[in-house]
Structure 1
């Protein structure tokens, strides 16, 4: 399933509050899905047959990449995160001395590994296998090596050995200087710390961009299939956004009992009988002519009036106050409607399109706008991405695994269903 990224959602919420407009939930979900940096992907292993243990995924806590097999995850940590713990420096040294008749070459990468009788040969094989081909058994990898008798290649290998890579710990033990280590020694240090860099769980949450970079073909295919299905209709994102918006004190309502909209302003119908003359004039006109913009209201109620005149300013001020307090709903495309059962026409056919593609309101069919008001806790905030996908108590992971909180989706909550059934 797919979840909105917390930081992106918070930025979007700020824009929605500032604009005081109502936005289509389906369009919001589609825009999240269109950009990998705006969504998260929840991966979950299937439930096992009775009597069998459930399979787990292995996640790197440094970059959140996920693997089906732990040995692949360990190879990834050693290969891709050395620079987070070590200062890496290249120096020039003398080329290897001695008589070498042959040189070994990797049949997969074409890289020269050195003569079999050179002291660094086995170390170089171990380094290349563990960093690039750990998904293969070592025996299978060794079978891909070829020995070549070529003087030019031997000289080429000697030149490549002029460069020596030195690794120094960025944070050595207190009171000690960082020693110079070879790559093999640095990798061995990484392996000694690897337990704290990985987490195994039946379910993991991965950043959208990371979900497209899996080395595992099966995981990559599963995410691709799910994304294609979600792109046709972003159901899981819609269901995750509903409770998230409620937590942030937003309000959901429907148009034509079909399209769900989100707004920071709770729709609140105004009693016309107790309103001022200008407010009654605006409300009566919108009730008879829903789906028009602020400028159209001004042009029709104050025909020929100078937009800078006192009369025009008074009308627009009252209209702005009505929008700010929920007496009038202003939609994402600038069209206006009255809440709760009043006749309106908020460009319904443009709901699934971006605002720039919206058709003129005059071309749209009328729709009934009904607002559902939902009280949110006063201290409710979305603190983490994981808050959108929290595990049920019986499946909660141990307290010493803080990142394991990002688990079960809130999509099945009764609150998420109430918005769909609002009268």
Structure 2
């Protein structure tokens, strides 16, 4: 043997291209280590090694082989299985009930998808993943349950709006409730121009000529309203004032949002 193939990814010596088991070894190694890569690309990336040490190491490894023997062998079953594929085929043919469990649904980490060998099962998982990427209702419902369990509060802006998760329960301004003049100015500012940041609110409410102490008082009132749930602060620091709704109307809106979300 003049050369042996070596996998660049794992460093494993796969044998000489002229050996009768070479193609079989390539297929098994490809299915075990990089099933997502096309076989032709995997084969093209192999490194041909001519060092005598590598060739001798491979020849030594070929002097022994692993065989599998069935436990509790029954009449009509083979005594020896010469490869992993043969052992897998034996289990499916003679020990299916003991090795394969049928389930309508299974849950496993998404990272395992890359390790699954090509076949119908992997295709089904890929189809389900692509479907969720197009319309992630099941994913959203699963995340929603986890967020509620961790103490987050969820609400939607409008019947078809975005669902927001917040650590503070939302409070809408009741028409009968009243706020201090300073806080009302903050609401007026956000009702007029929503989506601005805290520094812009402080500047608009306190005035451009106000000193730092006046702006700090506005920010203190703003943080209080955020903590109470009257104003929503998004991840990018944009601010939105919650709408003016009666307590009953707010409860009905939240219930309608919940029902609409679960039914879609």
Q: Which has the higher helix share?
A: 2
Structure 1: distance between partners of 2:61 and 2:193: 83
1:106 partnered with 2:21: yes
Q: Displacement, 1:222?
A: 1.4
1:211 paired residue among 113, 116, 136: 113
Unpaired runs of 5+ residues, structure 1, are 1-103, 139-194, 343-368, 375-414
Structure 2: distance between partners of 1:285 and 1:416: 27
Q: Displacement, 1:279?
A: 0.9
Aligned residue in 1 for 2:129: 227
Q: Give the direction of change, closer, same or farther, for the CA distance of 1:371–1:286 in structure 2 (3 Å limit).
A: farther
Structure 2: distance between partners of 1:133 and 1:419: 53
Unpaired runs of 5+ residues, structure 2, are 1-18, 27-57, 69-80, 92-97
Please, what TM-score do these two structures have when normalized by structure 1?
A: 0.38
* Partner SS, residue 226 of structure 1: helix
Matches for 1:241-260 after TM superposition, within 5 Å: 241-258=143-160, 259-260=162-163
* Partner SS, residue 126 of structure 1: coil
Q: Displacement, 1:218?
A: 1.3
* Partner SS, residue 291 of structure 1: coil
* Partner SS, residue 252 of structure 1: strand
* Partner SS, residue 204 of structure 1: coil
Q: Displacement, 1:113?
A: 9.0
Structure 1: distance between partners of 2:131 and 2:120: 17
Deviations 1:10-48 (A, max 9, x none): xxxxxxxxxxxxxxxxxxxxxxxxxxxxxxxxxxxxxxx
8 Å contact from structure 1 (residues 252, 372) kept in 2? no
2:167 paired residue among 256, 261, 264: 264
- Identify which of structures 1 and 2 has the higher relative contact order when contacts are C-alpha pairs closer than 8 Å and 6+ apart: 1
Please, what TM-score do these two structures have when normalized by structure 2?
A: 0.57
Q: Give the direction of change, closer, same or farther, for the CA distance of 1:136–1:278 in structure 2 (3 Å limit).
A: same
Q: Give the direction of change, closer, same or farther, for the CA distance of 1:334–1:199 in structure 2 (3 Å limit).
A: farther
Aligned length: 188
* Partner SS, residue 337 of structure 1: strand
Deviations 1:85-124 (A, max 9, x none): xxxxxxxxxxxxxxxxxxx953512876999xxxx86xx2
* Partner SS, residue 249 of structure 1: coil
Q: Which has the higher strand share?
A: 1
